[in-house]
Amino acid sequence: MTHLLTRTSSVKADAQGNLPLTLSSLLPSAPITGHEIGVSGGAYAAALPTATFRARVGGGIATVESNNLIAVPLAGSSYPNFLEWGPERIATSPRMSNTVETGVSTLQNLYTSSGVFGGTRYYCGFRLSAAGTYRLSMDWCNGALTPSGGGIDVQWRTSTNQTLGPVVRMGRNDERTASCDGYVVVAGTTDVGTYVVATAGGRYNIANFVDICITVEKIA
Amino acid sequence: MSHNLLTINTAKPAATGVVSVGVADLADVSATAPTTGQVLVYDGTQWGPSQRPYQTIFIGDGAAQDYSTSTAASTASGAIVEFYSASPFNGVSGATLNATSGWCSSITLTTGRYIVEAVVGLTFSSSVGSALYQIFQDGIGVGSRGSVGFDVLRVGSRARAVVDVATTSTITVRLESVGSINGVASQGTRHAQRSSLEVRRV
């Protein structure tokens, strides 16, 4: 009896007729520790998990901001009450940095013409364009112009007013820097932001941009 | 005629000559049986089942739901706090939310390590009213306590614990050191609107 000279991809049968097939040999490239098997370009391939990433807005420099009695919403009738988190840039001066990921972009209010430096722009939300599940988190507080005990109640929502987490009161910086968290499952492009539920005595006044950090994590 | 005696590792041909190969028959795949929700991860030598790297539970969608609609029997010290969400997010393999009408009284977790965080928004009858709360694992308090008071600014403190589960554990949040707290019937909606319970597998 003879066995056939069978081979699969680069794996050949040995003299006893055994084909020592491995999972790694079926993949287009060799895996490394921590790799999972996913789909890339229509074929299975090993890669490090991509289900988690973090986009961020926050940190920065300077102090003193506006003294509005109400929070500034994102411009446009579709987003009547998304809190304006803080400036990416005022005129030519950078204020808050950000890191972006594929599938996550920031929503901004633009106050001056874009010009060479991009103009004065304030962050107001995120646009999530990749399907999946996201964890949303905002650390924020009001500045000293908010009276003691005052604050702004916010809640993560979509632009269609789907509530994504609890209502959280953001107090004055020396009384209460709070975290507002939420979860959203995205099927198509979805805009999310922190909806102003009530101003509750708070004034829109940022004490220090380093008190601000807003993150988006894609968790599935 | 004889059929070909080709084998693929432990998979041998049937009488028809067909070799039925499963993933576990492959030479570099662990013999450990997988469980629901696991994925294959390469450890540098072989592939084996593992939990997904980021699994979470999140309860608390900010709904204006009165606490009197929960199954909570009491707001006294030692009472279990329930958390509301019409559509809670549960991405933890093997975890069970024990809920009635959207109110979750406990979470059952399976083997693994978790970080549990809770914020309670219960209300009080006096401006000096306050309560502490803590994560409990199988009836035993673990981790740091959170606090809640009369004013809304006193809502948001987190109870936080790292929980190791050998087989299964029931996680609850319980009240401690309660003062001037409203009873279940007169709690109102603040707790459902401002509370959250989050579990992350780490």
How sure is the predictor about A183, in pLDDT bands with cuts at 50, 70 and 90? very high
pLDDT at A59: 46
Mean pLDDT of A51-71: 47
Give the lowest-confidence range in A170-174, B37-41, B69-73, B94-98. Answer: B37-41
Of A164, A168, A220, the CB nearest to B194: A168
Cβ separation of B195 and A166 shorter than 8 Å?
A: yes
Amino acid at A32: I
Cβ separation of A20 and B9 shorter than 8 Å?
A: yes
Say whether residue A61 is in contact with chain B using an 8 A CB cutoff.
no
Of A1, A20, A165, the CB nearest to B2: A1
User: Which residue(s) pair with B114 in the sheet?
Assistant: B163, B201
Interface test with B, best of A148, A167, A181 (most B CBs within 10 A): A167
- A79 vs A143: CA distance, rounded Å: 24
**Helix/strand/coil for A95:** coil
Cβ separation of B152 and A155 shorter than 8 Å?
A: no
Is the pLDDT reported for residue B132 higher than 90?
yes
Interface test with B, best of A183, A186, A194, A195 (most B CBs within 10 A): A183
- Domains with residue ranges and CATH for chain B: 1-50 (no CATH), 55-201 (2.60.120.40)
* Residue among B58, B54, B56 nearest B197 (CA): B58
pLDDT at A7: 67
* Residue among A191, A164, A178 nearest A82 (CA): A191
Give the lowest-confidence range in A169-173, A210-214, B89-93. Answer: A210-214
Say whether residue B121 is in contact with chain A using an 8 A CB cutoff.
yes
Specify whether the CB–CB gap between B167 and B35 falls below 8 A.
Answer: no
Sign of CA pseudo-dihedral B96, B117, B198, A103: negative
User: Smallest CA–CA separation between B102 and chain A, in Å?
Assistant: 14
Using a CB-CB distance cutoff of 8 angstroms, which residues of chain A are in contact with residue B198?
181
Cβ separation of B8 and A171 shorter than 8 Å?
A: no
pLDDT tens-digit series, residues B31-84: 888 776 677 888 889 988 876 667 899 999 999 999 999 999 999 999 999 999
Is the pLDDT reported for residue A219 higher than 60?
yes
- What distance lies between CA B40 and its chain's CA centroid? 23
* Residue among A112, A59, A51, A118 nearest A86 (CA): A59
pLDDT at A38: 72
DSSP 8-state symbol, A73: B
Q: State the DSSP string of chain B.
A: ------BBTTB-B-TTS-B---GGGSTTB--SPP-TT-EEEE-SS-EEEE--S-EEEEE-------GGGS-----STTPBPPEE-SS-EE-STT-EEEEETTEEEEEEEEEEEEEEEEE----BSSTT-EEEEEEEETTEEEEEEEEEESSGGG----EEEEEEEEEEEEEEEEEEEEESBPPGGG--SHHHHH-EEEEEE-
Q: What is the pTM of this model?
A: 0.76
DSSP 8-state symbol, A112: S
Residue with tokens 């673990």: B142
Amino acid at B161: A
Specify whether the CB–CB gap between A74 and A125 falls below 8 A.
Answer: yes
The residue ranking higher by pLDDT, A167 or A143, is A167
Is the pLDDT reported for residue B178 higher than 50?
yes
Residue A159, both tokens:
């632009």
Say whether residue A200 is in contact with chain B using an 8 A CB cutoff.
yes
